[in-house]
Amino acid sequence: MLFDVLFLFWLIGTKQVSWKHQNEIIASSGFFLTALFTVLTHSTFSYFMHFLAISMFIGVLNYPKVRSLVNAALISIVALFQSQGIFAKLLSGTGMKGRTIGGLLWKARIFIIPVFIIFLFVGLYSFSNPVFGDMVNNLGLGIQNTFNFIFEGLDFFLLLTFLLCLFISIYLFTQIPNKGYVEQDINAIEVLDRDKKKRPRWFKLTGLKNEYKAGVFLLLILNALLLILNVLDVYWVWFNFAWEGQTLKQFVHEGTYLLIFSILISMAVVLYFFRGNLNFYAKNKLLKYLGYIWLIQNGVLVISVGIRNFRYIEYFSLAYKRIGVILFLVLALYGLYTVARKIQFKKSAFYLFKSNALVLYSVLIVASFVNWDSFIAKYNFAHANTSYLHLNYMASLSDKSLPHLDKSLTELTQINAIQNEKYGFEYTMQPEEYRRIVNNRKLDFKKKWESKNILSWNLPEYLAYKELFPN
């Protein structure tokens, strides 16, 4: 966070950030907020999101007028490697008295073969003459001792850290927009235009009328199949669900995988049939209606998967994947909404990717602010009388959740009795074992926290330490 703040002030001081464009504001806000979240939340997810936010921010710095975060990400990925080449070129162009480093290295190439030949003959003479071999070995030991003396105090980990930070700094401070992706972003359209040019076709079946008939046929069959599935889900999952002791893992995962596949297919179908002039075909109303029905049915499928997931949480408490499914369902509903807008207003694929990338980025930024480990720990123990409490999983949560994991043996024994009566799964950890693990983790955490300096300070672990060890 300290580095990010200095970097941001440097950008402001050198007037490289203007905040005149929407994505420039979004990317810089994401960059600064996730920098704070690494300290305020201090989770692996917050660090991952911060690196993603940095990448997005650099893409926008390279081209502030970028209209899509997808293109900003592509520009940033290319810049990661292009910037290193530019730095190497600049470095090779520096030197003394008109002689560049690159030029000196190029001229030095003529000595490579002679040096190789010299080493080859030294080796041959060493094998053929023991006295000469001893002289070479003594010389080699002397050189080795000299190098050992020079590098004795060298911290190779520090050297690697320096090289890594140099690589990152070159990427951050060298702005070079990729012309190809910039032109792609400039030329992209959000609303389709009718293409009046006649193009050669391989088969007559690809004519507009036949393409329309193919689309109607495909969507009719897909809607019929999905209708059957949705009717079954509404009956069994929405209104007639009965838990009979099963783990429900497959119950949720099957629905989620089906949903992902269905949404990808639906977007692909819509992108194909509404990619061009079929949008302007005068008699395409039936195809549009079938498209809307297909999207609505996918929305019902989203709700069904959501209900499955909430059933899973109801009986088996919270976990990261179950939270991830909730976030995915929110994004899926928005994705279906944008596909519907594409059909209604003749939007382009660029519009779809631009809109969904923005919402995806925003949702992930917000999600990175939540201390999920503590949230999961509090929720699961609070619902231990009604939901399954997987003590093995709870014991694996991060140190910042330790105050919520720290339960007395009496509390754990009471919970265990309820759990055994309701579930009785064989892999349940016993209260004594869980208590021992948490106590050991508390002692380890105390040592680690007290050995940290200001550069390792973070809010959740600080609060956890204060709560666990108030004195």
Concatenated DSSP letters for 33-77?
HHHHHHHHT--HHHHHHHHHHHHHHHHHHH-TT-S-HHHHHHHHH
DSSP code of residue 399: G
Pick the residue with more confidence: 370 or 158? Answer: 370
* E strand intervals along 273-408: none
pLDDT of residue 203: 41
Can you tell me the mean pLDDT for 359-371? 95
DSSP code of residue 318: -
CB distance 319 to 246 below 8 Å: no
Cα gap 104→96, rounded to integer Å = 10
Query: CA 333 → CA 207, 263, 358, distances in Å?
Result: 33, 10, 14
Domain spans of the chain? 1-190, 207-347, 372-468
pLDDT of residue 205: 40
Alpha helices by DSSP H, 317-383: 320-345, 349-367, 372-382
pLDDT of residue 358: 95
Cα gap 373→371, rounded to integer Å = 6
Which amino acid belongs to residue 422? K
Of the given ranges (2-16, 118-132, 167-181, 283-297), which has the lowest mean pLDDT?
Answer: 118-132
CB distance 19 to 25 below 8 Å: yes
CA nearest 313: which of 224, 362, 376, 259? 376
Alpha carbon distance, N-terminus to C-terminus of the chain? 29
pLDDT digits (tens, 9 = 90+) for 6-62: 998 999 888 888 888 899 999 999 999 999 999 999 999 999 999 999 999 999 999
CB distance 53 to 30 below 8 Å: yes
| Element containing residue 117 per DSSP (H, E) | helix 112-128
Please give the mean pLDDT across all residues of the chain: 84
Coil vs helix vs strand at 248: coil
Query: CA 423 → CA 63, 415, 420, distances in Å?
Result: 57, 12, 5
Cα gap 212→294, rounded to integer Å = 16
* E strand intervals along 160-302: none
Q: Is 245 left (phi over 0), alpha (psi -120 to 50) or beta?
A: left
Pick the residue with more confidence: 452 or 110? Answer: 452
Torsion on CA atoms 121, 123, 126, 127, rounded to nearest 10: -110
Can you tell me the mean pLDDT for 131-140? 76
CB distance 326 to 370 below 8 Å: no
- Rounded percentage of the chain residues whose pLDDT exceeds 90: 44
437 pLDDT higher than 90: yes
Which residues, 6 or more positions from 174, have their beta carbon under 8 angstroms from its beta carbon? 79, 83, 86, 87
pLDDT digits (tens, 9 = 90+) for 187-230: 888 877 665 555 554 444 456 777 778 878 888 998 998 899 89
CB distance 273 to 215 below 8 Å: yes
Encoded tokens for 259 = 């949903």
Which residues, 6 or more positions from 50, have their beta carbon under 8 angstroms from its beta carbon? 31, 34, 35, 37, 38, 368
Pick the residue with more confidence: 252 or 313? Answer: 313
CA nearest 334: which of 370, 367, 362, 368? 362
pLDDT of residue 202: 45
pLDDT of residue 155: 74
Of the given ranges (231-245, 255-269, 441-455), which has the lowest mean pLDDT?
Answer: 255-269
Angle formed at CA 111 by CA 108 and CA 114, multiple of 5 degrees? 175
Cα gap 262→297, rounded to integer Å = 10
